[in-house]
Each structure stands twice: as C-alpha cells, then as structure tokens.
Amino acid sequence: MRSAVHKVLHPIAGRPMLAQLLGSVEALRPAAKIVVVGAGREQVEPLATRDGATVVVQAEQLGTGHAVAQAARSLPDFDGDVLVLYGDVPLVRAETMARMLDRLNAQDAPAAVVLAFRPADPLSYGRVIARDDGTILKMVEHKDATAEERSVNLCNSGLLAMRARDLWALLSRIGNDNAAGEYYLPDVVMLAAADGRASAVIEVEAWEVAGVNSRGELAAVEAAWQQRRREAAMAEGATLIAPETVWFAHDTVIGRDVTIEPNVIFGPGVRVADGAVLHAFSHIEGATIAEGATIGPFARLRPGAEIGAGAKVGNFVEIKKARLGARAKANHLSYLGDAEIGEGANIGAGTITCNYDGFLKYQTRVGAGAFVGSNSALVAPVSIGAGAIVGAGSVVTRDVAPDALGLARAEQRERPGWARRFREMMATRKQAK
C-alpha cells in the first residue's frame, strides 16, 4: 500500500477493511474472534479489541498455514467450528460464512469447506480441482501447478471452514516443500484427502472475495461496492439522477421516494427518511434527515445534524450538532452549530451561531416561528424566543424575548454632500502629485 497505515485499516465505504469483516463475523455470534498480525500490532489492536477480538502475532512470515496456527494457543479448549478469513478480503457476507458452516456440518461431514470463485483472469491464484458435486480432488498453488491445472478457472480464495480439532491436527502436519518454502493453509485439504476424508468447495462471485494489496485494488473494490449499493438504493425506491456520482457509506439508510441529485457524498451514520430531496454537491455525515426535507445544493451536514420534516437546508449552509425543526428554513450561506432551531423558524442568509470561544462550545436556541434577519451573529449561549424577530445585521449577545424585536447594530448616520466633497478633495491631491 506504500502507507504508514496498516493495510487492513484502509477504509471501504468509510469503514476500515478489518472492521467491515469483523462486523460481518459478528452476525454469526462467534464464541471468539482471533486476529493474527505479522506487524503493526499497535495499529490493529485498538480496532480489534473494540470489536471484541483478540490479537496474536505471527513473528515470522512463514505462510498462511503458519499464520493460522498462531491462533491455536488462544483457543486451547475450543472444539467448535473455525472460519479462516483474511483482513484484506473485507466484503465476505455473513450469509456466505453461514453457508460455509452449514456445508461443514452437512450429513457427509467434509473435513474442510473451501470458498472458491471464478475470476475474469485467474492470474496467480491457487486452483481448486473439484468434482461436479463440489467435492475436492486437488488443491494446488499456482507456482506448483501444471499447465493443465492452471487451465482450470476455479480459484481458491484462501477462506476456509474446519472443525477446530481437525484444523489444529492437520496444521501440525503440513510441510514447506514447495516453490515458496512456505507452510500453505490449503495443504490441510490434501492431507485430509490422504487420510480418506473428502473436502467440499462452495463458489461465490469474484467481488465478494476480492482482495486488496494496493491503492489501485482498494479503489477498484470501493468502486464495485459503490455500484452494488447504488443499485440496491434504486431497487429499494430511491431516485439517483446520476448514480455513478453518488457515494454511500457502509451504513447509509435511504428511504423510499428519496431523490438524490449528482455528486452527493454520504459519510458514516446517515439516515434519510421517505420523500427527502438531496440536491447536488451536498456532503452528509452523521446526520438524520426527516420526511420531505430538502438539502442543498452545496450543503454540508456534519455529525449531530438533525433535520426535521419538511425543513429546508439551502446552498452553502453548514449544520453541526444542531436540530432544525419541522418546516424550519436555513436557505443560504449560514453556519448553525450546537443549536436548537424551532419549528417554522427562518434563518436569514449569512447568519451564524458563534458557538465556540476557543475553549468551550455553547448552545443557541431559536424558538418556533422566530425570524432571524440576514447577516446576524448569534453569540452563544443565547436564546431567541418563539415568534421573535432579529433585525438583519445584528450581533445578538443577550436573550430576545418571545414576539420581541431584537436589534443590535450601530445607528445609521448620514452627512449630506460629504461624498462629493471627499471626491473633490482627493482629486485635488492627486493633481498636486
């Protein structure tokens, strides 16, 4: 990756790859989750432990079989099923993992279940030679395969399901007499076959087991994920005007009859209710948008933004940790942070909440039906009462009572003829030079 950041911490759809995978695993309610790392433990461990996993270190890089063996000491008394997954293969679905375990526990009791796929270009993937019924005849790494074996396009993803007692016993028997001098995890399948025990293969689409080893592959996996998510959003009843320009996060929730215009970007933690309209070039993260609300164009909703039903957030408006009540409006060029804006209130163009004094954040409250004139600064903590009006250009530092007029600006003064006299004076000075 050519990065100071550990590979599995690079994000897909706004979520680190490892977190994507652990999230899918959690749907199976596992007895334990073990993350094996070769290097970079100090980066990986905080995320892994947050998600309930234990980290163990593979001190020497001696192959995939050797890596999996490092997990054994963390599962000394475990006698259940083991799934072997890869942190840089983040999009494996929980449904696929469940299929692997179901096949492992089928009536014929295979020794192992291997997840395989058919890529457009098999490249250097290991091959799976299988019968029509899915039982495996042979598994071979590309480096060690014959030309005939390389002609097979069923490829090993590396993902595997086995019973713990079988896995540990077979791992202790694998050797490294191969082209790379490594201990290959797939060798357990052939060792089981030598013992007279068959293994089985399950196929998935290539996108589900796509691995990431470079920035280019990261971008490709992201692009493929986004394309599937766009298709799902439209299938579920949203309108995407230019689908290829919309980018979702892993947890974006979109209701029915939502319209999303071009170049809308979703960060994590967004929920959009039915009938909302998201205009072009808006960036939305950590926000909740209620029914029929209108956002943008060129709006930014930051974490903690709550937009009420039928409310309007217009162009170049930024909202952070603030609630805009039902039918309230902030149509132009405003910043609303740490604020509570009541139902039907109107926030004029250029208005900002001054919520930070360099040390602490403070709250601004605007009551229902209040009107805040353009280019006003509301210096928090401050409250504007229900139905009150704040005159344009005001710097409000004290509360304004309900239904009152709040006005805080210098008195306008006029000097007749001053501008003409000034021009004449300056013209004379310029001529003198």
Round to whole Å and give the CA distance between 301 and 430.
52
Q: Which residues have C-beta within 8 Å of that of residue 196, sequence separation ≥ 6?
A: none
Tokens for 220, please give them: 């490709």
Q: How far is residue 78 CA from its own chain's centroid?
A: 33
Helix (H) and strand (E) counts in the chain: 9, 34
> 3-state SS of the chain: helix, strand, coil percent to 5?
25, 25, 50
Tokens for 384, please give them: 């504007």
Going edge to edge, which strands form the sheet with 239-240? Answer: 239-240, 259-260, 277-278, 294-295, 312-315, 329-332, 346-347, 371-372, 389-390, 405-406
Tokens for 427, please give them: 């013209």
Tokens for 296, please give them: 């943008």
Can 332 be counted among the known catalytic residues? yes
Residue 60 DSSP code: S
Q: What are phi and psi of 257, to 5 degrees?
A: 60, 25
- Of the residues 10, 279, 283, 332, only one is catalytic, namely 332
Round to whole Å and give the CA distance between 93 and 208.
7
Angle between helices 41-50 and 17-26 (to 10 degrees): 30
Location of structure tokens 């290097």: 39
Q: Which residues have C-beta within 8 Å of that of residue 58, sequence separation ≥ 6?
A: 36, 37, 38, 66, 67, 70
Q: What are phi and psi of 238, to 5 degrees?
A: -95, 150
Catalytic residues: 332
